[in-house]
A and B are shown apart, each in its own frame.
Chain A
C-alpha cells in the first residue's frame, strides 16, 4: 500500500489521443487525467476499444504518428513533461525510468536474438555496463524472476522458452534498470491460470522489493482486485470511474462498473441466469450524443442520451462519470 506522504510519480492531465481514419476521427483517448503515486499500483480496466492500451502507449509516446496524434495533454513524470521531451531524452527514459511488459512476449522479444544479448543490450545502453558486467547482471535478473539454470538458459532463443518463461524473461528485461514505473499491459492474458498466478506473484514481489510504481492494464476484474491500490475504469476513451480498489468493488458509483462486476460469474453464486450488460461496445467513430454508455445502460434516462455526463466527485478519492453518480453510489452503499 502507498503511504499518504508519498508523492505523485506520474501525473497525466487531459490526455487526448485521436486517430484519423477514413471513417472519421476516432477519439481513442479523450481527455483523461490520473496520477500514480510512488510505490502504488494503478489498475486500468476496460473492454477492447476502451482506450486503455492507447493511453498507456501514449505515456511513452509509442503511438504511431500518423495515423495517431496526441492532440493535447501533459504527462508529467518526476516533474518533466514526457510529451515535450526530445528524441534522445525520450530514448533515455524508455527502458530506464519507465519499462513496459506486453501481453504477448513472443512479439516483444526478438526471435532471432539470444535472450542474453537482448537482456545485455538494455544495461549496456542505459547503465553503461561492459559486456562482462551486463552478462553478470542479466544472469542475476533471470535468477531473480525464477528461471531455473539461468546461467545456461541465458543463451537460448525466445522460442526455446515456454509462454510463462518468456513472460519472465520480459519482466527481467523490463526490471533490469530498476525503473520507477512499470507499465504492464495485459501481462497474463495469454497465459494459463496457474502460470498467471505465478507471474502475478512475481510482479507483486518485485514491486515490493524495488518500490517501483506499476500501471496494470487488464480486462480481468479478479486480477485488479488482488493486485492494485487504485482503479480506473475506462469506456469509449473516457474515464468512467476512479476509486481506491476496495471502494470501487464495494461501492461502485457508475452503472457500467456495477454491470461489469455483476456479469463476472462468482464462484460462490448459484448457477443460472447471469447478469448481462446488453448491446455491444460502441464504435468510436460513431459515438452517440450524450453519454457513450447510455444505449447499454439500465439506469439511462432522457438526459443521458442528450447531454454528456459530468465527472462527479463522490468522496475525496472516488469519481464517477454519470448523470446519476450520486444515486448509483447511494444504491451501492445501501446494498453493501
Chain B
C-alpha cells in the first residue's frame, strides 16, 4: 500500500466519553470513562487497517463511533468530505450504506426469527436498492459470493454453524455495496479451522470489491496476516502506528513489544527458547487513566518523566509512529538508551 493513497476516512482528535455512576447532589463533576481520548487516524482507500489492543482499550468504541453507532463526544470523522461526527441521524442515513460492520458474535448479531433471505435482503429494501425478483437474485449472488449455497435461502440462523453464520453476516454487510467495513473481531468466536476460511474470504472480497477495512482484533497473529498497516491502542489512544510488517519485525513501543512477545508461537522449539516480556498487572481503569504516559504503570522502561509528560505520536522511522518519550528518530531502539535518559524530550 503506498502512502500516497488518499485517506478514505480521516479521524481527527476524536473523543468518546461515557458518563458513569450517579451524579451526587451539589457535585459538579461526574465520573467519565474516556474510552477514546483524542485519537487521530487516517484510513487509506483500499487498505486493511488493523487495530489491536487489550480489552478495554477502546478499540470497539472507536469502530462504533466511526459508524456513528455511538455518538462521539468531540472531534471529526471526515468521510467523502463530510464530517460524520456532526451529522444528524437523518443526514447520517444517506451515508450508512457506504459504511458497514461485521460483528464478533455471529450468534448474537443475526435475528433468529428471520430467514437468511430476509437477513441479507433487508438492507436492500431499507436502502431501496432492489425488491421482488431482483432482490431474490441479488441475495443469491451474495450468498454465492461468501460461499453459502443458495439452497439455504429459506433457513434460519440456528441451522448454521458459527462459520456459516459469520458468512451470512458478511453477505449482509456487502449487500449495499459499501466502501468501508469495520470488522470487529470477526474471527475470534470461530473454530481454528474456520478462522482461516473467513480471513481468506474477507481478503478476497476486499480485492474484488475494492473495499477498505478496519480490522479490529486482539489476535495479533491474525491481524498481522491480513493488515497493511497496524494501529496499537492503549487506554483510548494510539501508541504505535505503522506498516504491520515493520511493527512486527521491530516494534518501537515497550507496550507493542510486550503484546507481540505474549503471543504463543505454534512451534515448541521457538517456545522453549524464546524470552518472553511478561507485563505486570492489568490495564488501569479508563475512568482514572494514569497521568503522563498511560502505560507507565506497567512499563519496565518507565522513568520519572513518564509519570508527568504525556507522549505525542512521533514519526520515529519513516511511516512508523510511536508515542514514547524514551525514544526519538535519532535513537529509536529503547534497549540501547542509557538508563534514565529520554531522547524524545529534547525534540519537543
Q: Which of A164, A271, A275 has the most C-beta atoms of chain B within 10 angstroms of its own C-beta?
A: A271
**CB atoms of A249 and B192 under 8 A apart:** no
Question: Does B126 sit at the interface, judged by CB under 8 A?
Answer: no
Interface of A: prevailing SS: helix
**CB atoms of B278 and A47 under 8 A apart:** no
Q: Contact check: which of A201, A266, A274, A275 meets B278 at CB < 8 Å?
A: A201
Question: Does B200 sit at the interface, judged by CB under 8 A?
Answer: yes
Q: Contact check: which of A162, A196, A249, A267 meets B248 at CB < 8 Å?
A: A267
For residues 238 through 295 of chain B, which have their beta carbon under 8 Å from a beta carbon of chain A? 248, 258-272, 276, 278-279, 282-283
Given A165-B282, A195-B282, A226-B271 in contact, is the A281-B161 Cβ separation under 8 Å? Answer: yes
Q: How many residues of A contact B (CB 8 A)?
A: 45
Given A196-B262, A280-B161 in contact, is the A263-B195 Cβ separation under 8 Å? Answer: yes
**CB atoms of A281 and B191 under 8 A apart:** yes
Minimal beta-carbon separation of B166 from chain A (angstroms) = 12
**CB atoms of A273 and B194 under 8 A apart:** no
How far is B114's CA from A307's CA once the two chains are assembled, in angstroms? 40
| Chain B residues, CB < 8 A from A90 | none
Minimal beta-carbon separation of B294 from chain A (angstroms) = 15
Question: Does B111 sit at the interface, judged by CB under 8 A?
Answer: no
| Chain B residues, CB < 8 A from A245 | 268
Given A192-B55, A198-B278 in contact, is the A281-B265 Cβ separation under 8 Å? Answer: no
**CB atoms of A226 and B282 under 8 A apart:** no
Question: Does A177 sit at the interface, judged by CB under 8 A?
Answer: no
| Chain B residues, CB < 8 A from A162 | 282
Given A165-B282, A192-B54 in contact, is the A226-B272 Cβ separation under 8 Å? Answer: yes
Q: Which of B219, B262, B269, B276 has the most C-beta atoms of chain A within 10 angstroms of its own C-beta?
A: B262
Given A221-B266, A226-B272, A267-B263 in contact, is the A197-B278 Cβ separation under 8 Å? Answer: yes
**CB atoms of A246 and B269 under 8 A apart:** yes
Minimal beta-carbon separation of B56 from chain A (angstroms) = 9
**CB atoms of A275 and B268 under 8 A apart:** no
Given A194-B258, A226-B271, A226-B272 in contact, is the A249-B282 Cβ separation under 8 Å? Answer: no
| Chain A residues, CB < 8 A from B192 | 47, 219-221, 260, 263-264
Question: Does B299 sit at the interface, judged by CB under 8 A?
Answer: no
Minimal beta-carbon separation of A156 from chain B (angstroms) = 14
**CB atoms of A265 and B264 under 8 A apart:** no
**CB atoms of A48 and B191 under 8 A apart:** yes
| Chain B residues, CB < 8 A from A246 | 268-269
Given A261-B266, A280-B194 in contact, is the A164-B278 Cβ separation under 8 Å? Answer: no
| Chain A residues, CB < 8 A from B55 | 163, 192
| Chain B residues, CB < 8 A from A296 | 193
Question: Does B153 sit at the interface, judged by CB under 8 A?
Answer: no
**CB atoms of B200 and A223 under 8 A apart:** no
Question: Does B181 sit at the interface, judged by CB under 8 A?
Answer: no
Q: Which of A194, A245, A261, A267 has the most C-beta atoms of chain B within 10 angstroms of its own C-beta?
A: A194
| Chain B residues, CB < 8 A from A271 | 224-226
**CB atoms of B193 and A226 under 8 A apart:** no
**CB atoms of A197 and B262 under 8 A apart:** yes
| Chain A residues, CB < 8 A from B258 | 194
Given A164-B282, A267-B221 in contact, is the A249-B266 Cβ separation under 8 Å? Answer: yes
Interface of B: prevailing SS: helix
Minimal beta-carbon separation of B183 from chain A (angstroms) = 16
Q: Which of A162, A201, A226, A273 has the most C-beta atoms of chain B within 10 angstroms of its own C-beta?
A: A226
Minimal beta-carbon separation of A174 from chain B (angstroms) = 21
| Chain B residues, CB < 8 A from A197 | 261-262, 264, 276, 278-279
Minimal beta-carbon separation of B262 from chain A (angstroms) = 4
**CB atoms of B193 and A259 under 8 A apart:** yes
Q: Which of A47, A48, A162, A193 has the most C-beta atoms of chain B within 10 angstroms of its own C-beta?
A: A193
Given A164-B282, A198-B278, A260-B192 in contact, is the A225-B199 Cβ separation under 8 Å? Answer: no
| Chain A residues, CB < 8 A from B279 | 194, 197-198
For residues 185 through 203 of chain A, which have their beta carbon under 8 Å from a beta carbon of chain B? 192-198, 200-201
| Chain A residues, CB < 8 A from B220 | 193
**CB atoms of A193 and B218 under 8 A apart:** yes
Minimal beta-carbon separation of B146 from chain A (angstroms) = 14
Question: Closest B-chain residue to A202, C-beta based?
Answer: B278
Minimal beta-carbon separation of B288 from chain A (angstroms) = 15
| Chain B residues, CB < 8 A from A192 | 54-55, 218, 283
| Chain A residues, CB < 8 A from B219 | 193
| Chain B residues, CB < 8 A from A275 | 196
For residues 154 through 169 of chain B, which have their beta carbon under 8 Å from a beta carbon of chain A? 161-164
**CB atoms of A194 and B197 under 8 A apart:** no
Question: Does A9 sit at the interface, judged by CB under 8 A?
Answer: no
**CB atoms of A266 and B266 under 8 A apart:** yes
How far is B259's CA from A278's CA once the two chains are assembled, in angstroms? 31
**CB atoms of B191 and A219 under 8 A apart:** yes
Question: Does B39 sit at the interface, judged by CB under 8 A?
Answer: no
Question: Does A106 sit at the interface, judged by CB under 8 A?
Answer: no
**CB atoms of A223 and B196 under 8 A apart:** no
| Chain B residues, CB < 8 A from A164 | 282
Minimal beta-carbon separation of A113 from chain B (angstroms) = 23
| Chain A residues, CB < 8 A from B221 | 222, 264-267
Question: Closest A-chain residue to B222, C-beta based?
Answer: A265
Question: Closest A-chain residue to B191, C-beta based?
Answer: A47
Minimal beta-carbon separation of A332 from chain B (angstroms) = 14
Where the two chains meet, the residues of B that have a C-beta atom closer than 8 Å to any C-beta of A are 54-55, 161-164, 191-197, 199-200, 203, 218-222, 224-226, 248, 258-272, 276, 278-279, 282-283
Other A-B pairs, 18, CB within 8 Å; known A197-B276, A273-B200: A193-B219, A193-B220, A193-B263, A194-B262, A195-B54, A198-B279, A201-B278, A222-B264, A224-B266, A263-B192, A263-B195, A264-B221, A265-B221, A267-B224, A267-B248, A271-B225, A275-B196, A280-B164
Q: What would 12 A/B residue contacts be, using CB atoms closer than 8 Å? A: A165-B282, A194-B259, A225-B268, A226-B271, A263-B196, A265-B199, A271-B226, A274-B196, A276-B197, A278-B197, A280-B163, A281-B194
Q: Which 8 residue pairs spanning A and B have beta carbons closest together?
A: A222-B264, A226-B271, A265-B225, A263-B196, A197-B262, A221-B266, A276-B196, A47-B191
